[in-house]
Amino acid sequence: MPFVKARDGEPMERLVRRFQKACEKSGILSEVRRRQFYEKPCETAKRERSQTERKIRKINRILRNR
């Protein structure tokens, strides 16, 4: 769970903005969106497989450009 400490004289809007950034960085919102609906095991495997393929393509693209 992300948290932020208020600095001296820091406005509440800035504090909320820092908290939102911390939540985004930790991946809480994406996790909530992902768990919002039930995903079948075959859909989960398909999504993970496509993510892995994307990673491999990205690594290959980086290595080719060296």
Amino acid, res. 48: E
Tokens of 34: 């992902």
> What is the model's pTM?
0.53
Q: Are 22 and 4 a contacting pair, CB within 8 Å?
A: yes
15's CB contacts (< 8 A; 6+ apart) are 4, 6
> Cα 45 to chain center, whole Å?
19
pLDDT of the residue at 2:
87
pLDDT value at position 13? 95
Condensed to tens digits (0 to 9), the pLDDT of residues 23-61 reads: 999 999 889 998 999 999 999 999 999 999 999 999 999
Supply the pLDDT for residue 46. 97
Query: Would you tell me how many other CB atoms lie within 10 Å of the CB of residue 4?
Result: 16
Q: Which residue has the tokens 């950034």?
A: 21
